[in-house]
A and B are shown apart, each in its own frame.
Chain A
């Protein structure tokens, strides 16, 4: 078997394994539209625009909004395996199109969802027990500083960064590489995304071999708070995105739930021991020169 068809077979097997995992737990597969009327709002994620008919549509950056609309209408537990799109994200661990596994569990605590997420990751990798660590503990342990109070300017190469970007710099450059199998919790409220906040953001991230693999939330339901966070995120963008009022009008009906997304291709990278995400993608076979430096695609990086 050629290496390429071997990877294709493994991808197919893992997709099958993920579906069985959710079948067993009676979580329903959904396939929401990838073409949205409004772009999703994150300060640091750029949305791709497409001309679908006479109108412009936006490729989803995660299936979150459409899945939450279903949850608000009473879908119950759901999961989705979706290609998602992020403009300009090209690197060894980043592809502008990648596969995300996202699911929502009604009535779950964040801890229970963490356990389930670890079980899903174990479908791909033989791992021991994850170490639980808070965001604050991670900074104290690896950098000897308190991320909530310490002045970070001198630690960040004189880059012109706001506080959250300074934290992102330190976390991604100085901490993440050390996280071999860790669950990080207790993120700063300013990095809550769409998670509830109780002193710290009720979020967790799972790291394996220095890779960010999963990102889970205790999901925010309050409409006003959604608007406030969207405006806050928008204010950091060069161009503000319009809000999806259809999403905001139903978000108050979102049942108590926790949700998580997992990067399928990064798990494949770790499983296949590849140094580039592009070496795991079926669409890359044949035109990515595998043994040479990563062939970056210039038109996607603007």
Chain B
């Protein structure tokens, strides 16, 4: 297994700790003037998203996690998962909704997603930061209603995501949303 010296660890690197993949959030060098040097790292478990802090002796070697991030295009949804295809290798993979979790609401076909693979198995699917999606359901806006301070209304998008949109947006329109926050960005 590939290894890295603790001093060379940088944010974003993937480490194997206690048989789980972690991504490095930050790293700090701690050393009393004449004493032992340590590297204190904050890491996020890629399976559970739990963030923990760990300390290692400087110059110790740690195993790198077998983690890769590849771009796959969504082909279609099945009852319990989504089927993606790699644009160049045409390799297809099925990722269970258990892995996709809350990002299921952004599963739009023909869009490129980042898929995180750990030991060859998908462990996370990350949508593009911004998506253009059609509104499939929203109540008609009532003009002049802004005076009451109510400027947003609920809407359902073609992927079943529920978002808040300005009251002037109508059913059937295409809007841009931020998938990190689920917030409306603009009309397309």
Known: A44-B36, A159-B57. A293 touches B26 (CB 8 A): yes
Q: Is the CB of A168 within 8 A of B35?
A: yes
Q: Is the CB of B55 within 8 A of A164?
A: no
Q: Is the CB of A212 within 8 A of B33?
A: yes
Contacts of B36 in A (CB 8 A): 44, 161, 164-165, 168-169
B59 nearest CB neighbor, chain A only: A88
Known: A90-B29, A94-B31, A212-B32. A298 touches B55 (CB 8 A): no
Contacts of A159 in B (CB 8 A): 55-57
Contacts of A176 in B (CB 8 A): 32
Overall SS of chain A's interface: loop
Q: In the assembly, what is the distance between CA of A173 and CA of B30, in Å?
A: 8
Q: Is the CB of B32 within 8 A of A302?
A: no
Q: Is the CB of A44 within 8 A of B55?
A: no
Residues of chain B at interface, number, CB under 8 A: 24
User: Interface segment, B7-15, B68-76, B158-166?
Assistant: B7-15
B56 nearest CB neighbor, chain A only: A159
- Chain B 27-57 interface 0/1 with A at a Cβ cutoff of 8 Å (1 = within): 0111111111110100000000000001111
Contacts of B11 in A (CB 8 A): 293
Contacts of B8 in A (CB 8 A): 298, 301-302
Q: Does residue B146 face the partner (Cβ distance < 8 Å to A)?
A: no
Q: Is the CB of A88 within 8 A of B30?
A: no
Q: Does residue B186 face the partner (Cβ distance < 8 Å to A)?
A: no
Q: Is the CB of B35 within 8 A of A301?
A: no
Q: Does residue A92 face the partner (Cβ distance < 8 Å to B)?
A: yes
B37 nearest CB neighbor, chain A only: A44
Q: In the assembly, what is the distance between CA of A296 and CA of B26, in Å?
A: 12
In chain A, positions 281-302 with a C-beta closer than 8 Å to chain B are 293, 296, 298, 301-302
Q: Is the CB of B31 within 8 A of A89?
A: yes
Known: A88-B7, A91-B29. A193 touches B34 (CB 8 A): yes
Chain A-chain B contacts (Cβ-Cβ < 8 Å), number = 75
Contacts of A280 in B (CB 8 A): none
Contacts of B54 in A (CB 8 A): 157
Q: Does residue B5 face the partner (Cβ distance < 8 Å to A)?
A: yes
Q: In the assembly, what is the distance between CA of A298 and CA of B4, in Å?
A: 12
Q: Is the CB of B28 within 8 A of A171?
A: no
What is the distance, in angstroms, from B15's C-beta to the closest C-beta of chain A? 15
Q: Is the CB of A172 within 8 A of B38?
A: yes
Known: A45-B34, A293-B11, A298-B8. A165 touches B57 (CB 8 A): yes
Q: Does residue B94 face the partner (Cβ distance < 8 Å to A)?
A: no
Q: In the assembly, what is the distance between CA of A145 and CA of B37, in Å?
A: 22
Question: Using a CB–CB distance below 8 Å, which chain A residues touch chain B?
Answer: 42-45, 88-94, 157, 159-161, 164-165, 168-169, 171-173, 176, 191, 193, 205, 212, 215, 293, 296, 298, 301-302
Question: Using a CB–CB distance below 8 Å, which chain B residues touch chain A?
Answer: 5, 7-8, 10-11, 26, 28-38, 40, 54-59
A–B complex contacts, Cβ < 8 Å, 19 sampled: A44-B31, A44-B37, A90-B7, A92-B28, A92-B29, A94-B29, A157-B55, A161-B36, A161-B57, A165-B35, A169-B55, A171-B35, A172-B31, A172-B32, A173-B38, A191-B35, A205-B33, A212-B32, A215-B34
